[in-house]
Amino acid sequence: MTMNSLGRSRLRLPTVSVAALAAALVLAAPGPAASDGGEGAPDIAQVTTTFPRAVALGDVEHGRELWEFECAACHEMGRGAEDGIGPQLNRVFGRRAAAIADFPYSDSIIRMGRDGLTWTYRTLDAYIENPYALVSGTRMSYPGLEDADDRADLLAFIRLYSDQPADIPEAEPTARRVEVELPPEVLEIRGDREWGEYLASECTTCHQRDGAAAGIPSITHWPEDRFVVAMHAYREGLRPHSTMQNIARRLEDEDIAALAAYFATIDD
């Protein structure tokens, strides 16, 4: 690809020691922990104003309406969310039940949390459909949301506030932390941003350009080296998601570097 060779000769290689960089990368590969405030985590304010595109769990806009009508009287989500009548529900996907310190939970839900009840798509769906059926002594006095499509829409909206790939139903639970050791010359490739932009159209059918994470993890504004390591981990099968493996296997090293450069700086 001429575009690549042009791009590479224009740019100087970084001067940092490659060994040091490689060592840092092994520690810094992205994973679920990255969503706890790492650069990969979407800003909550940003998330609230964006909607999923191709792949979604449900209709987020409708989910937002349901949230306002059914849940918001007792629960908060978003920046600065606090406990009210019910606990705040930021990052509830993947959260152990009754995990908010100091919230006066019922004994019943505390016991279930201790027994291992974790909020996933399935358990949330069941709890919202009929709180008492899942947690018999729950203090949540809510009659339940009967319609399965409504629940899917609502969960798609709630999912916006939880950014953990492990909780994507169609991909669960693949988010093991896995590292890949890359030879220095691969890490040295400076990505051609324009080429990356061209290639990115395939990715943005699933990953949203603006970094929102409804159902699909955010891949914008990652440090380039972390992005490169993640893609190689899929290509080598260390990361287990088969769709991403297939996508990564079609990409050359140069392509991955280009995508990393593009997504790192997507809106500047």
Residue ranges binding ligand HEC (CB under 6 A): 30, 40, 55, 70-71, 73-75, 85-87, 89, 92, 97-100, 105-106, 108-109, 119, 124, 127-128, 135, 138-142, 145, 165, 168, 171, 174-175, 199, 202-203, 205-207, 216-217, 219, 227, 230-231, 239, 241, 243-244, 247, 259
For ligand HEC, the closer of residues 64 and 207 by Cβ is: 207
- CA-based nearest residue to 202, from 258, 265, 267: 258
For ligand HEC, the closer of residues 50 and 108 by Cβ is: 108
CB 45 to ligand HEC: min, Å: 20
Cα 65–161–51 angle (5° rounding)? 60
Helix, strand, coil percent content, the chain, rounded in steps of 5: 50, 0, 50
For ligand HEC, the closer of residues 17 and 146 by Cβ is: 146
For ligand HEC, the closer of residues 89 and 214 by Cβ is: 89
CB 203 to ligand HEC: min, Å: 3
CB 173 to ligand HEC: min, Å: 8
Angstrom distance (rounded) from CA 140 to CA 137: 9
Angstrom distance (rounded) from CA 251 to CA 253: 7
CB 111 to ligand HEC: min, Å: 10
Residue 93, class by beta-carbon neighbours within 10 Å (0-12 exposed, 13-18 middle, 19+ buried)? buried
Cα of 166 vs its chain's centroid, Å: 8
- Residue 3 makes CB contacts below 8 A (sequence gap 6+) with 192, 194, 195
Helix axes 121-129, 148-159, angle to 10 degrees: 130
CB 236 to ligand HEC: min, Å: 13
For ligand HEC, the closer of residues 17 and 44 by Cβ is: 44
CB 265 to ligand HEC: min, Å: 14
Neighbours of 73 (CB within 10 A): 11
For ligand HEC, the closer of residues 8 and 123 by Cβ is: 123
